[in-house]
Amino acid sequence: MNNPTQNVPVLKEVESREELIYLLSRASELEHGLACVYLYAAYSLKSCLEEGGLTEDQLLMVKTWKRKLASVAVEEMLHLAQVNNMLTAIGGAPNFRRTNFPLPISAFPFGIKLTLEPFSLATIERFVMFELPEEGVLEIDLYIQYSALRDKVIQAQELDLTGLRPRQFKAEPELVERFGTKAFKFQEPYEVDFKTVGEFYNKIASGFRCIPEEILFIGPKEAQANARFVDLGGKLISVMNRASALEAIEMIVEQGEAPTQQHPDCHFQVFDTIRTQLISETEKALENNTVFEPVRKMASNPMTRFYDDTTGGTLILDADTHCAADIFNMSYDTMLQMLLRFFAHTDESEEELELLSRATLRIMTTVIRPLGEALAKMPLGDPKDIALMAGPGFGYNRDINLLPHKDSAWIFFSERLFNLAKEATELAEQKTAPVEVKEASAALQALSELFIRKTAQRQKVEPKSEFTKLEHTPSPEIYPSLNGPYLVKGVNNLLNSKGEALPAEPQMALCRCGGSFNKPFCDGTHARIGFDSRKLPGRTPDRLDEYPAADYKVCDNRGICQHSGFCTDELPEVFRLGKEPFVDQTAASGPRIFQQTKKCPSGALSFSFTDAKLNNEAEAPVNLPTITVSKNGPYRVKGSIKLDADFLQGASTEHYTLCRCGGSKNKPFCDGSHWYNNFTDDKN
């Protein structure tokens, strides 16, 4: 692409620190708003065949769209962080504020409204236009083609192109008389002479080129965020001088609007590919008279209350949905507060800075993401259209300001997370709550516990006991969520492979896609990689083989074996690796075989004496409900923890093994795939 730091656009150059701070603050608001808009469209796309309207091939395509939209939103958050580093570098303050949705068309000079809309052709066309390269980047015929599409998008909003510039300021008549009309030509405090995001950043780049380097960079270098703490693909640049500032701007523009041949994953190309695929699939469905309905029926601009900075929206009237939306908004609010504290930190240690950074990411991926998905499936409460779902409104409160004092800021975070966790736990207990609410409540419980331990609140609050009081079902259970984590309730014993206790909450979300960076706990990676929790073809069949002897019987079901090797390693004369039949039940005494079958972690092996009395005497002691994270292998579960899954023939329900590498063909049970896909977990 043309390097934005080398272009010579017909723009008025930025010559003052004040104007550069203003433009960077506006860029921050834009990147922030775009991230929310893209995420909302992603949440509106269906995730499973049970939602209807899609074939399996179409679902795969739609899930790819969903992941692409979410990944672009993450890159917008990278741009937001990068812009704030630039602000800090030149003496400005971090800015995570923005206006509530829907924004008026005049909010930015691109002529395209910034609103929360479900996915549609019109929505994806707007996204393409948000990322449209500036003139000179695309070949001329392509630029003309997309300029026509831009005109179509703008005209669909009933906005005359000629009304965009200049935007007249309605000044008081006496001020016009005193200073003249030219003084009030633009609403902005500085001249707005750009019409694309690329031109916007070119104008910002002119400030870094024109203002003398030795006087521009006055911000403390140590206050900036860096890739050590902000986990955004390692692409965050520390801005120390003119060269690094221009490099950061080039990265932002390249990710957004670079030409296809040089950056096939740029936002412009991602959105345009989705647009053409949507048109093609829609036309194919019409030709074949088939159904293609990839989008959930969601409201536009949902909100829990009207805000004074919006032009209107759709109120959420259903009580449970309203509660979920409030939890979503306050979790989002808390994340922004943490980001502000992180970017303007004063007294935090390296460990505390890392915790703040990781916590904001965890809120984004394990709280906001599942709650957004849940709200996309929860009713708006519109009596005129009961099928209309709500969606997340990204409601923005007035309290998004820097908390300047470290101790009080951290207590604020721990209190907020604790209250959110209580609200989410209560909501998760409602029978109608989507499973994603349970996922979010588990994450909030863990975050709450983490922050309370770091503050004086640990002497006042015992989170585990508070959350346990809210549980309606105290008996331990595991629910393997569809394409998501294991949702665990009421299990107090969580151990690593060394037998050491891991932090166990009343509700937990344990990773089963194999990709979490916070193993054994879920960090939302399953959504990013498109984890599929279905059983797969080619798995070992569900078949119970019986091997009777005179006084006892050995049973085996290869379909549930995790291939730990305890039986073949320790009693090879009975359990014969690579031989048929697998079991020689006469090669050892009954009691010896019985003792060995008790060691089978998967429950595939079982043993029974012919004499029922001997069976009663030989019954194993009752195990406490325990989940052990085995070394580079599955979860080993014992203690009759209820599992919401169909057990195979003859399999034990007292102890079993669950896949955590993501590769088992017999999910949720382990089938030994971790051996073949080289699954590792160095921490556990």
- Strand stretches in 448-604, DSSP E: 477-480, 486-489, 493-495, 507-510, 545-548, 552-556
Residues 6+ apart with CB under 8 A from 264: none
Taking the model in full, what pTM does it have? 0.89
Q: β-strand 642-643 against 477-480: which pairing, if any?
A: parallel
pLDDT at 235 over 90: no
Q: How far apart are CA 583 and CA 37, in angstroms?
A: 60
Q: How far apart are CA 627 and CA 511, in angstroms?
A: 13
Residues 6+ apart with CB under 8 A from 526: 483, 484, 485, 511, 512, 513, 515
Q: How far apart are CA 305 and CA 312, in angstroms?
A: 10
Closest CA to 391 of 278, 298, 516: 298
- Per-residue pLDDT, 172: 52
Per DSSP, helices labelled H in 258-346 are 267-288, 319-343
pLDDT at 179 over 60: no
Residues 6+ apart with CB under 8 A from 121: 275, 278, 279, 282
Question: Percent of the chain having pLDDT more than 70?
Answer: 89
- Per-residue pLDDT, 141: 85
Burial, 657: exposed, middle or buried (Cβ in 10 Å; 0-12, 13-18, 19+)?
buried
Residues 6+ apart with CB under 8 A from 354: 228, 229
Q: Quick one: pLDDT band at residue 354, thresholds 50, 70, 90? A: confident
- Per-residue pLDDT, 564: 87
CB contact at 8 A, 80 and 28:
yes
- Per-residue pLDDT, 334: 94
Q: 601-618 pLDDT, tens per residue?
A: 999 999 988 887 777 666
Q: How far apart are CA 122 and CA 131, in angstroms?
A: 15
- Per-residue pLDDT, 538: 92
Q: How far apart are CA 589 and CA 552, in angstroms?
A: 10
pLDDT at 315 over 50: yes
Q: How far apart are CA 39 and CA 35, in angstroms?
A: 6
Reading the block at residue 241, the tokens are 């001088």
- Secondary structure letter of residue 500 according to DSSP: P
- Per-residue pLDDT, 166: 37
